[in-house]
Chain A
Amino acid sequence: MKLFVTGIGIVSAIGLNVEENFHSLKLSTTGISRSAGYDLMLGEVNLSNDAIIKKYDLPEEDFSRTSLLGLVAAKEAWGEHKIDTQNRTGLISATTVGGLDRMEKYYFRAQQDASFNYLPHMTHDNGQTTERIAKVLGIKGYIGTISTACSSGANAILQGARFIEGGKLDRVIVGGTDPLSLFNIKGFSSLMIYDQNLCKPFDASRNGLNLGEGAAFLVLENEYSISITGSNPLCLLSGWNNSTDAFHQTASSADGKGATLAMTKALAKAKIPAQDISYINAHGTGTENNDLSESVALINVFGNHIPPFSSTKGFTGHTLGAAGAIEAVFCVLAILSDSVLPNLNFSSPIKTTRLIPETTFRSCTNVEHVLSNSFGFGGNCTSLIFSKA
């Protein structure tokens, strides 16, 4: 059974739509800069909540930025799609922040001002941030939210694939969305894995990540749905797997067990040999631990023939629950343009593994199959494979 990707939408620090994102990737223009508010390097989306509310003529409700960023990307991916009772349609989103951007704001305000009755505002659970996106798109029925830390976005895509393959849905819009939150900024600072300068994924001198925000969604359809919608397939989602490292709550194992399993099983699911992968969009956060563990896993799976690979987190920052979806859109763009994407800020390889990522935007003769990795706290490892339609 073929699973078609027929729509993509994205909002990130390097652009407010697919075209702008692709343009920045092509020119190697990062979206990360020193944020005046936090005095930290952040990949902020250049679009205010008010601007989004105005753009889509949304009701004057208390929207979480999670819903708002998600809406921008979901609307772009959804495009001209219409609700049709014959075509079973669902929405599966991913987030780690959910309504926390609002919760933390009200909670802190209440600490300062005892008279502020904040509890009536505290109604944004993860699921509700997704329901708000569904309401605007007009989707009813299966509306789900995945939260598996930094692999959430990839897992929402994986869920959508399984729903279509399992015959439960014909069309599903899948992706992830996460705004910046003080909670996560302070959290990653407390772990001492925050690079004070631009992050350097896979570099020997890497010393941490930069946080970012954003959202991305993809429309997945089966052949039946396409026969109704007439959508033009962009590419196929051909393989997926989720496996667990079972090593530590926050750190990846030295032997890259979970990542190795996820990549190996995704390849088996896609029924393609490892050497047929044209490009890998790595998780590559820029932390000492992730990049080494992921490099070991890449060697475990691909041996001496590592395909061209890069981490695009130097462009967007680590967008947590949105990362897997944002990078999935980048993979679709790599296939559509027959190119491999650059890894910014790299100068010298990690001594033990010696892997050298792609450092420039480069056209290739044929980008046939692309692998995308996403790993999260709890040892959660997901790999997705996209293929030419």
Chain B
Amino acid sequence: MYITASSTISHQPTFRNKGFSSELIELPQSSDVFHPDYASFIPTVNRRRMSDVLKMAITCTTDCIEQTGRKQPGAIIVGTSMGCNTFTKKFLDKINASKGGLLSPTSFTLSPHNTIAGQISLLLGNHNYNMTHTQNSLSFEQALIDAIMCIKDGCNTVLVGAADEHEGGLYSMDARLNSNDIHHTFGASFFIISTTKPNTPPSIKLIEVGSFGLMIDPIQSINDFLNSNELSVKDIDLVLYSNSHQNTLLELSKFFKETKLFDIQKISGTYFTNSAFAMHFGVDVLLQKEHAFFGQNIKRVLICNNLISENLGLIFLEK
């Protein structure tokens, strides 16, 4: 199956910017989302009530649909660790302020995790399969695994993506990751996965995705994953990794001796679904003949997401 469209809104100028992977610089200490002009993507009536994460996800969706010209995906699948958390906080604040009085339901009705996928179905008028996976740092990988299953079940095209926003008041990633050195960012990335090969080469294949929860040894899991795909370490040209532990990085560099390793968090910042950013980055690298940073002959990319030390996500892409 092929990745026929990719779209990302993030703390980097990724949106509608082909070749962005060779232009990006490390994020400065303080940064913000590069918001496109949402007015040209979402009607004003709908836009007014939307939070950033909804606007970003819907705009990426519209971009993906425009890239492929296919209006109705056979399935819509979203991975999000915290969903529409800003609405959750807003409604909690209303409860707190109301002292038992009447409350407006808007922020409550938009607070469920599946609001993103639901709003996309409303926007497209899509009656097909619609799913939301919410497994913290593995949310995007699980959405992708679902997308692959949909394709194997006979779906021709799947819209799959991830979106998260940073709401510092209701959740502490620092406490979860045991770190106070996190550059919090957020973003949305959406893709079309299709059985149809794109007309213009090169085409990028999504080969396999793994989600390993509560594992002990990431290297062992990576090894198993490569073996089950009949690959060896040497077959991987580039590893895009996210992790929160120095030890894991050491082990990774020992394991991938001859492979280029690149810390995607330096570019994307840290959020639980930044492996979706990494996938778009990987696609963008593979689309180029000669990459400014990684040179020629990058044919196989492994995205290795070990943000939470006991959870490992792996995404394998091939030119």
- The interface of chain A, by Cβ under 8 A from chain B, is 96, 98, 100, 103-104, 107-108, 111, 119-123, 125-128, 130-131, 134-135, 139-149, 155, 159, 162-163, 166, 168, 182-183, 186-187, 189-191, 242-250, 257-258, 261, 376-380
Contact = CB atoms under 8 A, between A and B. Distances in A.
- Among A122, A140, A242, A244, the most chain B Cβ lie within 10 Å of the Cβ of A244
Contact of A379 (B81, B122, B138, B214): B122
B262 interface: no
A249 B115 contact: yes
Given A142-B211, A378-B117, A244 B130 contact: yes
A378 B130 contact: yes
Nearest to B177: A123
Nearest to B110: A249
A8 to B, nearest CB: 24
Interface in B68-117: 76, 81-83, 88, 91-92, 95-96, 102-105, 108-115, 117
Nearest to A124: B171
A183 B88 contact: yes
B91 A377 contact: no
Contacts of B128: 243-244
Contacts of B117: 148, 378
A247 to B, nearest CB: 8
A97 B131 CA distance: 17
Nearest to B211: A142
Please indicate which of the listed interface residues B114, B136, B214 has the most CB atoms of chain A within 10 Å of its own CB: B114
A162 B149 contact: yes
Contact of A122 (B112, B133, B175): B175
Given A127-B139, A144-B211, A159-B146, A378 B171 contact: no
B114 A127 contact: no
Nearest to A158: B131
B135 A126 contact: yes
Contacts of B138: 127, 144
A122 B122 contact: no
A369 B89 CA distance: 43
A146 B118 contact: no
Interface residues of B, number: 62
B132 interface: yes
Q: Which of B92, B113, B117 has the most CB of A within 10 A?
A: B113
A146 B112 contact: no
Contacts of A98: 134
B153 interface: yes
A182 B95 contact: yes
Contact of B135 (A127, A135, A162): A127
A128 B131 contact: no
13 contacts: A108-B92, A122-B171, A125-B134, A127-B135, A134-B214, A147-B112, A186-B108, A244-B118, A244-B121, A244-B127, A246-B121, A378-B117, A380-B118
A243 B129 contact: yes
Contact of A145 (B121, B124, B135, B175): B135
Contacts of A134: 213-214
A163 B109 CA distance: 31
Return the 3 tightest CB-CB contacts between A and B, nearest first.
A378-B118, A143-B213, A187-B108
A146 B133 contact: yes
A162 B153 contact: yes
A9 to B, nearest CB: 21
Contacts of B129: 242-244
B118 A125 contact: no
A214 to B, nearest CB: 19
B115 A378 contact: yes
B51 to A, nearest CB: 13
B25 interface: no
A123 B171 contact: yes
Contact of A376 (B83, B110, B114): B114
B109 A250 contact: yes
A377 B118 contact: yes
Interface string B144-161: 011001001100000000
Contact of A128 (B111, B136, B215): B136
A377 B115 contact: yes
A251 to B, nearest CB: 10
Most buried by B among A245, A246, A249: A246
Nearest to A167: B152
Given A126-B134, A127-B139, A147-B112, A249 B213 contact: no
Contact of A190 (B108, B122, B127, B131): B108
A146 B115 CA distance: 13
B212 interface: yes
A134 B212 CA distance: 12
B28 interface: no
Contact of B133 (A121, A145, A245, A248): A145
B114 A131 contact: no
A378 B213 contact: no
Contacts of B145: 168
Contacts of A245: 127
A119 B127 contact: no
Contacts of A378: 112, 114-115, 117-119, 121, 130
Nearest to A130: B135
B201 interface: no
B295 interface: no
B118 A103 contact: no
